[in-house]
Amino acid sequence: MGFLDITCAVIIILYQYSVIPFHIVLAGAAFLILKAILFFGDFFSIIDGIIGIVMLLMFFIRIETVSFIALGYLVLKGLWSMF
C-alpha cells in the first residue's frame, strides 16, 4: 500500500503541472477513497479519504497549497509503511 500512496503523490504533482490527464487522477482518487472506506474508523484512513476528495476537486479548483500538503502526507505515509 505504501507504494500506491507514493504513486498517488506523484499523480498529484504531475497533475498540478498539467503533465497527466484527469482520468489518471480519478483512478488515484478512487483508490484513496476506496481504501478509506475499507479501513473505516482509522484516523489515517479518514485523511486518505479527504485527500481522495481533494484529488477530485483538483479538476475544478487549483488548490496548490492543499495539494502540496497532501503530497507530503502521502509520501511520508508511503515511506513509513514501506519500511
Percent of the chain with pLDDT over 90: 65
- The CA distance from 55 to 60, in Å, is 10
Read off the amino acid at residue 33: I
At residue 83, the pLDDT reads 80
The answer to whether the beta carbons of residues 59 and 29 sit under 8 Å apart is: no
At residue 36, the pLDDT reads 93
At residue 49, the pLDDT reads 93
Verdict on whether the full-model pTM lies above 0.85: yes
At residue 65, the pLDDT reads 84
For the chain, residues with pLDDT lower than 70 are none
